[in-house]
Structure formats: C-alpha cells, structure tokens
C-alpha cells in the first residue's frame, strides 16, 4: 500500500500552530507524507473560534472541500481545534465527508484515530471531552540539527473568563503541565540543536496556579520554571507568550535582568486604555497597574520591546474610552500591536451586554487606532537604525539588495530583519544566529549588514 498523504490547514494562535506541527510530525512517524490539499487523502483543519471571522472561514473552507470529495469519495476530513470543540458533532450532519472531530484536548489521540479511520471507511469518531490534567502527548522530536526554533506548551486552557473571550469554553480550565516534562522536553530540544524556545500557554504567568489543582501535584510558579529553562546550557534564546498583566509577577519581571538569553520582548495584552472598559471586560487591572508593569520592565531591561493586543468597540465603549486607549498606546510606545474589532462570541458574558456599537463606528475606530500604531511602529523601527542586533536566520529573503542574495530572520526584539549575504559568509546560514548592524528602517521591517568579524 502506498504511503497516505495528509494536509493540515491551521487557523488561529501559536498554540494551534504548535499543535499542528506536533500532529504533522506524528503522522510522519506513522509513515505518512505531507501532501498538497489537492492530492492528499487525509485533510485536517485545525480551527480557531476567537472571533466570528475565523469561525466563518472554517465553514467556507469545508464547503469548498465538497468538490474534492465528489472527485475522491475516499477523502477523509478531520476538524480539530477550537471551533470543533465549540460546535461539536453538528459538523457530521452538515458535512458528510467529515469523519473525525476533535477538541484541543483530543489531539494526542488523533494519529491513532486517523490510522483507524483509513482502515474502517464507515466509521466516524469524535474526541470532545476535556481531560482532568494537562493532556500530555508523546514527544515528536525532529532529527538532530534540523530544527532551530521550537514551541513548548506549558499549560492548557484558561481560568480567566474575560467577558469577551470564548477560549475558556473551547480550551477548558487551566491545567499546568508538570515542570518535569516541560524541562525534559526543553532539554531534549536543546540537545538536538534547538537555539530558541518559546513557552506557550493562554496565560503563562499563572502557570502552577490552577484553580482545579486540589489533589494534583503542586507545581512551582512560572518564575521558577522560567529560571530553570533559561539556565539550560546551550539555550541561546527564550521567549514566552501569552502574559496576562494581572499575573505578571515581580520575579518574572526581574528574570529579564537575570537571564540575558531571555529575549528583550514581551507581548502584554492591554485590550483597552480605559479603566471602565477594563472593568467591564473583567481584566482585573487598571491602566495605572499596567503602566507600573511597563516601568518595572523598562527599569530591568531598558531596551525591551513591548507589543500588545487591543480590542475596539467593546459594548459600551465611548469615544472618550477609545481616546484613552490611543493615549495609552502613545504612553507605552508599543513596537507593534494586534488590534481587533470586538466580535460577539456565543456563551460569553459580553455577548449579552447592552451598548453594542455600530459596525461603522467600530471599523472607524480600528482604522484610527491602526494609524496611531503605524506611527509608533515607524518610530520604534527608526530608533533601531545604527543598532547591532543578533538575527536568527529563518530563510532567504524575497527581497535583494545590491544584487546580493539576502536572508531574513528575527532579532532578539522579535522584529523581522533582512540583510544581504556577503560573499565571504558561510553558504548555509539558515538556523544560525548572526550579528547584523541595522542600516535602514522600512515600514514593517529592518534592513542591515552582517558584521562578518562579529
């Protein structure tokens, strides 16, 4: 029998990206091969439900697969992730070619389930239960020396129930992974040549503080785990995401001073600059609390790049509230931000709130906010000109400079840097960390020159 071909389409956050990477490696370990969507026998959609748009994309994508299925009735389609958890088995009724539905906690069972489904064409399966503890899965490690950047999940779910957010409903309660398996995975990755690790969770700062932890092994807090990982010999770069301002502890802030391999970049979602809106969102901090954290971070690591998430048009947001968000952005000077128009999500508190705003008002606020961010990002990038940064090379750049081939990568601040490859540079630089002097700031990225003698 020839090897099965599979194709994974991923929507959503880094947790989903990482889950898909794990699934891909696990299916390859079964002897299956990655294929294109047109050719594959098994199609997997890993979905996101955080706003209405990504949810709608799932239905339209599944609708388009109907033609492929009509041409190849043996096509096997699986839907996983947050929309699968939210919508459940109704996918079976709407899309006859969907034969597996799995929520985020069901992922570890998916490789075996897919293998079985290919053998039993009349079977359909679903994994929609939440597990009691962190859904540990077999390691799917790459060949030594191949992978230079890796994600490591340290927790599943979220206990915060921010008024607008569906994530606690789709990913379940917070369950911290055991510190032993986290460290074991990180050590294994560094031994195989990984240079940069990003720790993942919906709210990494509350690692170990699960509300349901009674009876389970007590884990140390986030700063302890962070210290242990940062101290692994050979680990060049460490990052973590996402942080909730209410749980960002002084020990985590000072870790940026203790560990030079902890990259000077923090993504710290503010959501709104208005205390009234923050209260309605249930975020449990004020703008002043947030600005105090920013001061602490800048005292510890003055050059740190701060990025954020912002929502415009939360129910009841007045024009004055919105102006407070713009003021806050300017006061912090975010290097970049993700900004979203508020979108009703089923089962959340905000969906039932009064004071919903007109679409046009929300769209206009988003436009204004994004203009302010463009200004701030340009200022931030402009200040980098002349600086010497360390770039972890991710690939060849589509752009060239002075007719030399160019490389693209990320510096320690998380910014994209392009640079021409000097003729005397080693041939294959992908995965290397190289010093680059920044020469020019573009709208969203930087150009520099490699410093060959370092």
Binder of residue 314, out of ligand SF4, ligand F3S, ligand SAH, none (CB less than 5 to 8 A by kind):
none
d(CA 254, CA 222): 12
CB of 229 to ligand F3S, least distance (A): 22
Contact segment (CB under 6 A) with ligand SF4 among 30-38, 70-78, 165-173, 258-266 equals 165-173
**Residues in contact with 57: Cβ distance below 8 Å, sequence separation at least 6, in sequence order:** 11
Which of 45, 79, 87, 167 is the binder for ligand SF4 (CB under 6 A)? 167
CB of 56 to ligand SF4, least distance (A): 20
Which of 98, 162, 189, 389 is the binder for ligand SF4 (CB under 6 A)? 162
Our finding on whether 345 is near ligand SAH (CB under 6 A) is yes
Output the CA torsion sign for 351, 353, 358, 363. negative
CB of 435 to ligand SF4, least distance (A): 36
Our finding on whether 160 is near ligand SF4 (CB under 6 A) is yes
CB of 431 to ligand SAH, least distance (A): 29
d(CA 28, CA 412): 32
Q: What is the CA radius of gyration of the chain?
A: 23
Q: Which helix (H) or strand (E) holds 17?
A: helix 14-29
Nearer residue to ligand F3S within complex by CB, 81 or 431: 81
Which of 42, 87, 150, 165 is the binder for ligand SF4 (CB under 6 A)? 165
Which phi and psi angles does 259 have, rounded to 5°? -125, 110
Paired strand residues for 340: 311
d(CA 213, CA 133): 9
Which of 7, 25, 51, 137 is the binder for ligand SAH (CB under 6 A)? 51
Here the tokens at position 239 are: 């990052």
CB of 149 to ligand SF4, least distance (A): 23
Binder of residue 135, out of ligand SF4, ligand SAH, ligand F3S, none (CB less than 5 to 8 A by kind):
none
CB of 242 to ligand SAH, least distance (A): 4
Binder of residue 161, out of ligand SF4, ligand SAH, ligand F3S, none (CB less than 5 to 8 A by kind):
ligand SF4
Output the CA torsion sign for 401, 404, 407, 412. negative
Q: Which residue ranges make up the site for ligand F3S (CB under 6 A)?
A: 12-13, 15-16, 48-50, 81-82, 167, 170-171
Other CB atoms within a 10 A radius of the CB of residue 321 amount to 20
Binder of residue 345, out of ligand F3S, ligand SF4, ligand SAH, none (CB less than 5 to 8 A by kind):
ligand SAH
Binder of residue 48, out of ligand SF4, ligand F3S, ligand SAH, none (CB less than 5 to 8 A by kind):
ligand F3S
Binder of residue 129, out of ligand F3S, ligand SF4, ligand SAH, none (CB less than 5 to 8 A by kind):
none
Our finding on whether 244 is near ligand SF4 (CB under 6 A) is yes
Q: Which helix (H) or strand (E) holds 93?
A: helix 90-94
Which of 340, 380, 413, 419 is the binder for ligand SAH (CB under 6 A)? 340
Q: What's the CA dihedral at 297, 301, 303, 305 to 10 degrees?
A: -40
Q: What is the DSSP string of 113-150?
A: HHHHHHH-TT--EEE-PPPSS-------PPPTTT--EE
373 burial (CB, 10 Å; 0-12 / 13-18 / 19+) is: buried
The alpha-helical segments, DSSP class H, found in 38-79 are: 52-71
Using Cβ positions, the residue closest to ligand F3S within the complex turns out to be 12
Nearer residue to ligand SAH within complex by CB, 340 or 419: 340
Q: What is the DSSP string of 341-398?
A: E----TT-SGGG-S-PPPHHHHHHHHHHHHHHHHHHHHHHHHHTTT-EEEEEEEEE-S
Nearer residue to ligand SF4 within complex by CB, 149 or 160: 160
d(CA 336, CA 345): 26
Our finding on whether 338 is near ligand SF4 (CB under 6 A) is no
**Residues in contact with 19: Cβ distance below 8 Å, sequence separation at least 6, in sequence order:** 46, 80, 81, 104, 107
Contact segment (CB under 6 A) with ligand SF4 among 161-169, 180-188, 257-265, 420-428 equals 161-169
Our finding on whether 274 is near ligand SAH (CB under 6 A) is no
Nearer residue to ligand SAH within complex by CB, 314 or 413: 314
The residues that touch ligand SAH, with contacts defined as CB under 6 A, are 50-51, 164-165, 167, 202-203, 242, 244, 269, 271, 309, 311, 340, 342-343, 345
The residues that touch ligand SF4, with contacts defined as CB under 6 A, are 158, 160-162, 165, 167-168, 202-203, 244
């Amino acid at each position: 029998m020839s090897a099965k071909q599979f194709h994974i389409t991923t929507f959503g956050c880094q947790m989903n990206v990482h889950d898909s990477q794990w699934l891909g490696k696990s299916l390859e370990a079964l002897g299956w091969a990655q294929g294109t969507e047109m050719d594959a026998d098994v199609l997997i959609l890993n979905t996101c439900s955080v706003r209405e748009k990504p949810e709608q994309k799932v239905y339209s994508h599944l609708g388009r697969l109907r033609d492929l299925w009509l041409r190849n009735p043996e096509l096997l389609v699986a839907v996983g992730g947050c929309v699968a958890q939210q919508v459940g088995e109704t996918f079976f009724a709407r899309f006859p070619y969907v034969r597996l539905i799995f929520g985020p906690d069901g992922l570890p069972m998916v490789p075996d389930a897919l293998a079985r489904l290919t053998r039993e064409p009349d079977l359909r399966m679903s994994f929609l239960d939440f597990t009691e503890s962190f859904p540990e899965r077999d390691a799917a490690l790459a060949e030594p020396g191949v992978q230079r950047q890796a994600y490591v999940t340290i927790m599943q779910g979220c206990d915060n129930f921010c008024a607008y957010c569906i994530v606690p409903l789709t990913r379940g309660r917070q369950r911290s992974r055991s510190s032993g398996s986290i460290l074991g995975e990180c050590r294994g990755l560094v031994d195989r040549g990984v240079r940069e690790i990003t720790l993942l969770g919906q709210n990494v700062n509350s690692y170990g503080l699960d509300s349901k932890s009674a009876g389970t092994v007590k884990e140390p807090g986030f700063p302890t785990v962070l210290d242990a990982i940062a101290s692994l010999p050979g680990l060049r770069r460490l990052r973590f995401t996402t942080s909730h301002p209410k749980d960002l502890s002084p020990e985590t802030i000072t870790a940026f001073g203790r560990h030079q391999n902890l990259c000077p970049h923090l993504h710290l979602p503010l959501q709104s600059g208005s205390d009234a809106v923050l209260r309605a969102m249930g975020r449990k901090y004020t703008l002043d609390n947030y600005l105090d954290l920013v001061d602490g971070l800048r005292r510890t690591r003055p050059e740190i790049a701060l990025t954020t998430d912002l929502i415009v048009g939360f129910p009841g947001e007045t024009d004055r509230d919105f102006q407070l968000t713009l003021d806050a952005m300017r006061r912090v000077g975010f290097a970049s931000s993700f900004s979203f128009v508020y979108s009703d999500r089923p089962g959340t508190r905000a969906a039932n709130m009064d004071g919903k705003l007109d679409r046009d008002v929300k769209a206009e606020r988003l436009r204004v906010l994004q203009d302010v961010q463009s200004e701030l990002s340009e200022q931030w990038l402009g200040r980098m000109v002349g600086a010497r940064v360390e770039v972890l090379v991710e690939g060849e750049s589509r752009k060239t400079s002075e007719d030399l081939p160019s490389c693209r990568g990320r510096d320690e601040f998380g910014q994209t840097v392009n640079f021409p490859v000097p003729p005397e540079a080693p041939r294959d630089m992908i995965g290397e960390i190289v010093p680059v002097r920044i020469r020019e700031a573009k709208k969203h990225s930087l150009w520099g020159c490699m410093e060959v003698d370092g």
